[in-house]
Amino acid sequence: MRAFSDANRIEYPMLSDAGSKVIRAFGIFNTNIPENHPRMYGIPFPGDYLIAPDGTVRDKLFIPDYQFRVTASEVVVRNFGDSTTANSAAISANPIEGKISLSTSRCFSAEEVAVMIDLRVKQGWHIYGSPLPANYQGLEVVFASPIIGEQSIEFPPARPMRLEALGETLPVYEGEIRATGRLRVRWSPAKDATFLHALAKPIEPGEYKIRGTLRFQACSDTICEAPSEVSFDLPLTLEAGIPTAGTGKPA
The CATH code of the domain at 68-238 is 2.60.40
Considering only CA atoms, which of 207, 202, 208, 205 is closest in space to residue 249?
Answer: 202
| DSSP line for 110-128 | TEEEEEEEEEEEPTTEEEE
pLDDT surpassing 80 at residue 84? no
Domain boundaries, the chain: 68-238
Burial class (CB within 10 angstroms; exposed 0-12, middle 13-18, buried 19+) of 161:
middle
Note the pLDDT tens digit of each residue in 94-137: 999 999 999 999 998 888 899 999 999 999 999 999 999 988 99
pLDDT surpassing 50 at residue 248? no
Q: What local confidence, expressed as pLDDT, does residue 209 receive?
A: 95
Considering only CA atoms, which of 45, 47, 41, 15 is closest in space to residue 29?
Answer: 45
| Maximum CA extent, the chain | 72
Q: What local confidence, expressed as pLDDT, does residue 194 receive?
A: 53
Please tell me whether the overall predicted TM-score, pTM, comes out greater than 0.85 for this model: no
Q: Is 9 left (phi over 0), alpha (psi -120 to 50) or beta?
A: left
Which of 18-27, 64-73, 86-95 comes out lowest in average pLDDT?
64-73
Q: What local confidence, expressed as pLDDT, does residue 198 receive?
A: 46
Interval 58-64 mean pLDDT: 85
